[in-house]
Amino acid sequence: MTNIWHPFTQHATAPAPLAVAKGEGATLILEDGRRIIDGISSWWVTTHGHNHPRIMAAIRAQTEKLDQVIFAGFTHAPAETLAAEMLKIVPPGLRHVFYSDSGSTAVEVALKMALGFWHNRATPRTKIIALEHAYHGDTIGTMAAGARGVFNAAYEPLLFDVARLPFPSDPKATLAALEREAPNAAALIVEPLLLGAGGMLMYAPEILRDMKAICERYGTLFIADEVLTGFGRTGTLFACEQAGITPDILCLAKGLTGGALPLAATLATPAIFNAHYSQDRRKTFFHSSSYTANPIACAAACENLAIWQGEPVRERIATLAAMQEDRLAPLRSDPHFGNVRRLGTVAALDVSVSDPGYLADAGPLMAAKFLEQGVLLRPLGNTIYVLPPYCITGAELDTIYAAILAAL
């Protein structure tokens, strides 16, 4: 029996966890010396590669100065610099940065900001609208916004109701449902362009733009959960850019520190901030995490943004997108695969199996086969996806795709 309880792990059936000693670019090196290509960016966080020297150096430098400090009534240079730099690169119109420490908390903060906005304006709206197949985190509030299923059946009685829009495979139906729900809703929350945990499902920027326009018409707040899509995954720095929209609230986490340390940010427009700005202390935004704006994590994030500025990251992303496309092309006509798709750096395909559900054995069986070949991939049900760090080489990608074909 293990004394450590691992995430999303059924210990009765899962193989023993692999002990990792080192990270290097797109590669994980195990205690026993084996090398594993990290085809999922260590659960979608690692952007430039493991142990990026500049981020590691920035962390070391910050540890010489300040480890942690209460963030109510105090501030520090790494948090100030990071907020200022973030506001220069996010969609225009966002002005305020609230820090927390994970994607789930970034979304919880966004939902609380939206509800606080309506509460403080004394025009109560409390309904949240979300997409079918959505994933926004694993806390109670974020599970409520996310799709219901085997993951949250035990907690379902305590999850609040949300209005659910059909996934935009038929955009007209999605937009019509939004037209019905938006007039009295507090907010719509979406994963822009790419629904990750729901199965790497993709939809077009025009639909995102149309959803934003409908929300605007009814004063319904628009929350973009870019926890996965932020920092280049979809080919642009943020997915919202492709639709030319600015959300009222933007959630960032995974790639914010380049994947090195836990840090999240929820960004808001002046309207959201001003709804909480008052001589009346009851209108305060009542939220905090102990480690809000941890200085070491902020220093890592500042260096990540400097890397985006100073290194050819966009070129690397374009190259990776093209390399993915080259390897996907022959699979588009392969009868073993269906719905072969790509958005920016992310590639996904469905394997035809008799039971495609998340609990089907196909996923873990394939994952074990991939590992035998030195490749870390973690299929979602029958969906295989490749979501690598941007430093991955063509040869490493070839190994990943060879493993996919071999696992069939």
Residues contributing to the site for ligand PLP (CB under 6 A): 102-104, 107, 135-137, 191, 196-197, 225, 227-228, 253
Q: Give the C-alpha separation, 269 to 77, whole Å.
A: 23
Residues 383 and 349 sit within 8 Å (Cβ to Cβ): yes
Residue 62 or 104: the one with the smaller Cβ distance to ligand PLP is: 104
Secondary structure of residue 163 in the 3-state scheme: strand
CB of 137 to ligand PLP, least distance (A): 4
CB of 384 to ligand PLP, least distance (A): 17
Residue 265 or 323: the one with the smaller Cβ distance to ligand PLP is: 265
Residue 58 or 252: the one with the smaller Cβ distance to ligand PLP is: 252
Residue 323 or 377: the one with the smaller Cβ distance to ligand PLP is: 377
Spell 79-93 as b/e; 16+ CB within 10 A means b: bebbbebbeeebbee
Residue 118 or 135: the one with the smaller Cβ distance to ligand PLP is: 135
Q: Give the C-alpha separation, 173 to 170, whole Å.
A: 6
CB of 251 to ligand PLP, least distance (A): 7
CB of 207 to ligand PLP, least distance (A): 17
CB of 200 to ligand PLP, least distance (A): 11
Strand pairing report for 185-190 and 375-376: unpaired
CB of 44 to ligand PLP, least distance (A): 6
Task: List all residues 6 or more positions away from 406 whose beta carbon is below 8 Å from its beta carbon.
Answer: 369, 373
Residue 50 or 119: the one with the smaller Cβ distance to ligand PLP is: 50
Is residue 312 within a helix (H) or strand (E), and if so which, with residue range? none
Residue 136 or 341: the one with the smaller Cβ distance to ligand PLP is: 136
CB of 114 to ligand PLP, least distance (A): 16
Instruction: Choose among 277, 273, 290: nearest CA to 114.
Output: 273
Strand pairing report for 20-24 and 383-386: unpaired
Query: Helices 394-407 and 362-372: crossing angle, nearest 10°?
Result: 130
Residue 44 or 337: the one with the smaller Cβ distance to ligand PLP is: 44
Strand pairing report for 27-30 and 35-38: antiparallel
CB of 195 to ligand PLP, least distance (A): 8
Residue 263 or 391: the one with the smaller Cβ distance to ligand PLP is: 263
Q: Give the C-alpha separation, 23 to 91, whole Å.
A: 33
Q: Give the C-alpha separation, 115 to 95, whole Å.
A: 19
CB 250: neighbour CB atoms within 10 A?
Answer: 29
Q: Give the C-alpha separation, 54 to 265, whole Å.
A: 22
Q: Give the C-alpha separation, 244 to 240, whole Å.
A: 6
CB of 253 to ligand PLP, least distance (A): 5
Q: Where are the alpha helices (DSSP H) in 136-181?
A: 140-145, 171-181
CB of 375 to ligand PLP, least distance (A): 21
Q: Give the C-alpha separation, 209 to 204, whole Å.
A: 9
Residue 124 or 160: the one with the smaller Cβ distance to ligand PLP is: 160
Among all chains, which residue has been given the structure tokens 């639709």?
243
Among all chains, which residue has been given the structure tokens 């981020």?
55
